[in-house]
Structure 1
Amino acid sequence: MAPIQLGSDQEQTGCLSSFFSSCSRTPKQELNEKFVYSAIDPMEQLPAYQDIAQAMDKLDVKCDSELEHIIESAINDIDAELRSISLDLHAHPETGMKEVHAHQVLTDYLESKGFKVTRHAYGMETSFMAEYSRGSGRRVGVCAEYDGLPGLGQGCGHNLIAISGLATAIGIKAAIESGKASGKVVLFGTPAEELSIGKIRLVAKRAFQDNVDVCVMLHPTSYDHQYAAFIAVHDVHVEFFGSPSHASAAPWKGVNALDALVQTWNGISMMRQQLLPTDRVHGIVTDGGQAPNVIPEHTSAFFFIRTTKHTQAPRLQKKMEACFEAAALATGCKVKYTWREIGITKDVVQNQVMADTYAAHMEKYGIKFPSEEEQIRAGGGSTDMGNVSYEMPCIHPAYGIHTTASNHTIEFTAAAKTLAAHKDTIRATKCLAATGVEVLLNEEYYNRVQQQFKENLAQ
């Protein structure tokens, strides 16, 4: 996976770097020629794709060509404005919870387009909600992200995610305004995705649960996946406390905190032999001592753990804690470990019914998707959209932007401002908006979406 970039005051827990690193190569060749990490527990069965496809064929799709034209026209009309906003956000990147400029630009624009805007929503300075409703009916949520990466700027294309959110909401709003659909669309401005904060806090405050029935968003990468697989991630800080002494004159008087850290590192390395192939543990040393001639009295490290499902994480947490405690016992040090206070970033539960609808619209533009199994095998990154997906039906498709570069790289930062990437975003956004409108129009379809959501959670 691409290396995780850490700012001096921020922890880089979010986004999709390992998933997109795998996606930066030619997918079919990579998958056929050698083993590719699978985000599916080998003990679990893949979803019944054929059953889903057959159920989709039986549905009476209501978002017809006339409504598709309304959505496309509404988005085409603001194409130049969206391009300008995207380039502005790309030129002025801001890290998580500091997206002041982006917050101002996006909320001002939405207000000018007739949305009811709530700035600084739910106690976060750079979050917002933008709502439009007409008549009674179902409620579709859309997520926008706009934070950048330390040292890379928009290295994950959040400038494109931001305008995709704007355009999706405006496309759905146009369908409602036409009188052919009724209900509500809500755009959530979700800060600090790269830190896995924004959506988790919004879920904790019931922002999604109390306002929408489904939620959708897109993410740019190197190619197209409607079932993009994102796994759970948790993180832990560990510290060891010993006693300093002169490392040459009186080493026997010291208690070496670095020994405890090395023991931990070795313990984790041996532990990996007994982990599931889908488990991941990776970390860095954040304090290894101050001087080579002083027995270190303090050391620290920072680790991520990842599991296919968030429910599997406690199993791995216990193993990690045993490594910490054993190292402390063996060296005579004291140990302190702290799991992430905000809680785990959950895996994304993609709603196959909505994902297939999105893919069907994309196929009208000539976009071809790998098989579901191939897509899932390429998984491995994480996003706080996962926490939303456990509260309601969600989709988080990945779409290609004419680059072979991995996300979280300088090359992807450059690709995210190209005209080709903009056009790719507009195309995918039209398909996402049409998927959202289907939820508003079609009760049978919505019931199938909800049924699939319940079935997914029961697995």
Structure 2
Amino acid sequence: MAPSDDYAPSSCFGNLFSFKKKQQSASRRSVAAARNAPAPSYYPAASEKLPAYDECVTKAFEHLDVKGNSEIENIVSNAIEGVSDELRTISLDLHENMETGMKEFHAHDVLTDYLESKGFTVTRHAYGMKTAFTAEYSNGPGKRIGFCSEYDGLPGLGQACGHNLIAISGLAAVIGVKAVLESGKASGKVILFGTPAEELSIGKIVLVQKRAFQDNVDVALMLHPAAYHAERGAMIAIHDVRLEFFGKASHASAAPWEGINALDAMVQVWNSISMMRQQLLPTDRVHGIVTDGGKAPNVIPDYTSAFFFVRTTEYQQIGRLMHKMEECFKAAALATGCEVKWTWREIGVTKNVVQNGPMADIYKEYMERHGIQFPTPAEQAATGGGSTDFGNVSFEVPSLHPMYGIHTNAANHTIEFVGAAKTEIAHKDTILASKGLTITAIQVLRDENYYQAIKSDFEKSIRSDNDGLMM
């Protein structure tokens, strides 16, 4: 499913920001204020979205050896450190040779060749996408672990979201799990999904639609670099719409009364959205661009177009914003006499990420033992703003998508983050986070009680999200 050349990125972390100390302080103040204010009845309080364990889940989690099995951790660490230099070479290659969504042919070949050389069974061009792939290794019966690698970049910027690092984090994780499976310390299966076009919010949604995750894995995990650490990073839902107005051209000076101004309709929409924002929830987002505003200043424009994103914390809330936007479109057409057409994205909504509590806890515990500090869950919930197609995965199988810091204050989707994504320290940060994610996954293979806790938390979280208001 190839996007058109003018398809702008609609996913990933376009407006995530760094956790500078002043921002952290401001976040804490805002969180404290939010705790003291009653939440609207139609919108869940932030605390309701934090993982809530029922009694059986809590007891199951208490059985875990949260200090970790040193022998397992040594196997994982040795396996990942043993390929660290190779992964660094691949990361720099993908950074230097950035490709945009559904065009990642070089990345596809580099990653699949490497995985095949490491003993994985590789399927190239998987699930009907030319730049998707899977790589599998199994050793005996047991749970099935899925990881995701991303590798597309942003036009005009490059690897401004660090997908070169996400690519090698997936490689590191499956290599670490494979080493444990080979050692006989666990049994089961590990699969790496090569997921193209995350910046276009396509790859994982196609995989979900084709049941790639639902039929093949019991849990799914992946990492994302940022300016901070967050084991439960908040990633929200997004949808997009293309808008067109059709009017009538005429000479803008000699006979303007003969025209029907499509640009007036677009300006009306812009103003309507600006006024609408004061009636939106503080967590709602509407933003966009005019893609065609006319061709000449002395001609009444007979055609204009725009491209808008709408975001909500929960995907079930998207319908409320869609309705408001459509009313703005219709009002502008009525006011100006134009015809109007709008088209919501055919592939559907990119959902918010449902983070799995038990998996987040194991990942956090490992990282804290290695000196990493995390904001509180409430602070993490208050700082969301980016979106990812991994959200659609998280509604199908228990999932974890932590953010990890790469020693930068730069926000994702900036030229400064492009530079940060190729540094040696960012590579070391990726290796550490990959070990933490791998240890989390191996616990799933080794402890049935832990998996049942994961499953219970997933089912409770999905029920909670499906209770969201759809308008």
What does the per-residue CA deviation read over 1:72-106, in whole Å, with 9 as the maximum and x for residues that have no partner? 11111111111111111111111111111111110
The verdict on how the C-alpha distance between 1:142 and 1:416 changes in structure 2, with shifts beyond 3 A counting, is: same
SS in 1 for 2:15: helix
Deviation at 1:30, TM superposition (A): 3.5
SS in 2 for 1:17: coil
Distance (Å, rounded) in 2 between the aligned partners of 1:432 and 1:419 = 20
What does the per-residue CA deviation read over 1:49-82, in whole Å, with 9 as the maximum and x for residues that have no partner? 5858955751233851111111111111111111
SS in 1 for 2:167: helix
The letter of the residue matching 2:64 is D
The verdict on how the C-alpha distance between 1:323 and 1:48 changes in structure 2, with shifts beyond 3 A counting, is: closer
Please state if 1:200 is matched with 2:196: no
Deviation at 1:23, TM superposition (A): 3.7
Match of residue 44 from structure 1:
44
139, 159, 168: which one aligns with 1:163: 168
The verdict on how the C-alpha distance between 1:56 and 1:372 changes in structure 2, with shifts beyond 3 A counting, is: farther
Please state if 1:395 is matched with 2:400: yes
Q: Which stretches of structure 1, 4 residues or longer, exceed 4 Å deviation after superposition?
A: 24-27, 33-38, 48-57
Match of residue 457 from structure 1:
462
Distance (Å, rounded) in 2 between the aligned partners of 1:256 and 1:433 = 58
What does the per-residue CA deviation read over 1:138-180, in whole Å, with 9 as the maximum and x for residues that have no partner? 1000000011111211111111111100000010111111111
The verdict on how the C-alpha distance between 1:264 and 1:393 changes in structure 2, with shifts beyond 3 A counting, is: same
Please state if 1:137 is matched with 2:133: no
Please state if 1:250 is matched with 2:246: no
246, 260, 280: which one aligns with 2:265: 260
Please state if 1:94 is matched with 2:92: no
The letter of the residue matching 2:198 is E
Distance (Å, rounded) in 2 between the aligned partners of 1:57 and 1:12 = 39
The letter of the residue matching 1:237 is R
The verdict on how the C-alpha distance between 1:232 and 1:192 changes in structure 2, with shifts beyond 3 A counting, is: same
Please state if 1:295 is matched with 2:300: yes
Distance (Å, rounded) in 2 between the aligned partners of 1:391 and 1:107 = 26
Match of residue 13 from structure 1:
10
Distance (Å, rounded) in 2 between the aligned partners of 1:37 and 1:215 = 35
Deviation at 1:275, TM superposition (A): 1.1
Deviation at 1:277, TM superposition (A): 1.2
Distance (Å, rounded) in 2 between the aligned partners of 1:121 and 1:383 = 20
The letter of the residue matching 2:241 is V
1:64-213 equivalences in 2 (<5 Å): 64-213=69-218
CA contact (8 A) 1:248 1:293 kept: yes
SS in 2 for 1:173: helix
Match of residue 31 from structure 1:
27
The letter of the residue matching 2:65 is V
Distance (Å, rounded) in 1 between the aligned partners of 2:31 and 2:271 = 26
The verdict on how the C-alpha distance between 1:253 and 1:342 changes in structure 2, with shifts beyond 3 A counting, is: same
SS in 2 for 1:109: helix
State the identity as a percent: 61
Match of residue 58 from structure 1:
62
The letter of the residue matching 2:171 is L
Deviation at 1:290, TM superposition (A): 1.2
CA contact (8 A) 2:18 2:226 kept: no
Deviation at 1:22, TM superposition (A): 4.5
CA contact (8 A) 2:102 2:130 kept: yes
The verdict on how the C-alpha distance between 1:394 and 1:132 changes in structure 2, with shifts beyond 3 A counting, is: same
268, 277, 284: which one aligns with 2:282: 277
Distance (Å, rounded) in 2 between the aligned partners of 1:24 and 1:303 = 29
The verdict on how the C-alpha distance between 1:27 and 1:68 changes in structure 2, with shifts beyond 3 A counting, is: farther
For normalisation by structure 2, the TM-score amounts to: 0.92
Distance (Å, rounded) in 1 between the aligned partners of 2:402 and 2:32 = 20
Please state if 1:428 is matched with 2:424: no
CA contact (8 A) 2:52 2:457 kept: no
Distance (Å, rounded) in 2 between the aligned partners of 1:155 and 1:24 = 19
For normalisation by structure 1, the TM-score amounts to: 0.94
What does the per-residue CA deviation read over 1:211-250, in whole Å, with 9 as the maximum and x for residues that have no partner? 1010000000111100100000000010000111111111
Deviation at 1:329, TM superposition (A): 1.2
SS in 2 for 1:248: coil
331, 336, 339: which one aligns with 1:326: 331
1:207-226 equivalences in 2 (<5 Å): 207-226=212-231
Deviation at 1:24, TM superposition (A): 5.8
Distance (Å, rounded) in 2 between the aligned partners of 1:57 and 1:391 = 22
Please state if 1:236 is matched with 2:208: no
CA contact (8 A) 1:56 1:353 kept: no
CA contact (8 A) 1:138 1:183 kept: yes
The letter of the residue matching 2:437 is L
Deviation at 1:25, TM superposition (A): 6.2
Give structure 2 stretches of 5+ with no counterpart.
Answer: 465-471
Deviation at 1:7, TM superposition (A): 9.8
Across the aligned residues of Structure 1 and Structure 2, the Cα RMSD in angstroms comes to 2.0
Distance (Å, rounded) in 2 between the aligned partners of 1:422 and 1:318 = 44
Match of residue 3 from structure 1:
none
The letter of the residue matching 2:395 is Y
Deviation at 1:13, TM superposition (A): 0.3
SS in 2 for 1:111: helix
Match of residue 468 from structure 2:
none
CA contact (8 A) 1:286 1:300 kept: yes
**Farther-moved stretch of structure 1 (47-56 vs 132-141):** 47-56
Match of residue 227 from structure 1:
232
Distance (Å, rounded) in 2 between the aligned partners of 1:25 and 1:158 = 26
Distance (Å, rounded) in 2 between the aligned partners of 1:441 and 1:220 = 28
CA contact (8 A) 1:140 1:213 kept: yes
CA contact (8 A) 2:150 2:167 kept: yes
Distance (Å, rounded) in 2 between the aligned partners of 1:10 and 1:37 = 40
